[in-house]
Amino acid sequence: MSLKQRISDDMKAAMRAKEAERLGTIRMLLAAMKQKEVDERIELDDAMVVGIVDKLIKQRKDAAEQYVAGGRPDLADKEKSEIVVLEAYLPQRLSADEVAAAVQAIVAELGASGPGDMGKVMGVVKQRLAGQADMGAVSAAVKTALAG
């Protein structure tokens, strides 16, 4: 079953179970997926869906931080509960050691050295580790690899 189909099935299950918050989050995800398909006139595959989920999670994390800073823990909690629902659609995440090892391998493969090659390395890393790791942690691992 494709990830897209699983999300659609989960929406139906949330409707039947009358889980309003979960349903709202899944509908928001489906709307973002449909928007991407319509805008680019493409059919989304699982990798593209994971990219959309990652983007939505990042938006939710940023919003939660802003709400906490603004003294609105109630809204921050809502964002965090949406993150939990969205994370169910991501593949298993890599550990920090696995990310560092993958980055080292890519740096060696490209023959990259120094901070000037950061963009070249990040382009390849983003393709290979999409959805498998937090890109903030990946970026830090690339900086460390290129500095050493």
Domain boundary residue, one of 39, 65, 87: 87
Q: How many domains does the chain have?
A: 2
How much is the pLDDT for 148? 65
Q: How does residue 112 score in pLDDT terms, banded at 50, 70 and 90?
A: confident
83 and 104 share one domain? no
148: helix, strand or coil: coil
Tell me what the mean pLDDT of segment 144-148 comes to: 78
32 and 61 share one domain? yes
Condensed to tens digits (0 to 9), the pLDDT of residues 3-51 reads: 999 999 999 999 999 999 999 999 999 999 999 999 999 999 888 898 8
Give the count of beta carbons closer than 10 Å to the beta carbon of residue 20: 10
How much is the pLDDT for 136? 80
36 and 106 share one domain? no
74 and 101 share one domain? no
11 and 79 share one domain? yes
Domain boundary residue, one of 87, 109, 135: 87
How much is the pLDDT for 47? 81
Condensed to tens digits (0 to 9), the pLDDT of residues 56-110 reads: 999 999 999 999 999 999 999 999 999 999 999 988 888 888 888 888 888 888 8
Domain boundary residue, one of 56, 87, 118: 87
Which positions ≥6 away from 22 have C-beta within 8 Å? 14, 85
Which residues form the domain of 136? 96-147
29-40: b (≥16 Cβ within 10 Å) or e: bbebbeebeeee
* Euclidean distance between CA atoms 63 and 66, whole angstroms: 5
54 and 125 share one domain? no
For the domain that residue 63 is a member of, what is the CATH number? 1.10.1510.10
* Region of 56 on the Ramachandran plot (φ > 0 left; ψ -120 to 50 alpha; else beta): alpha
Q: Are 66 and 75 in contact (CB under 8 A)?
A: no
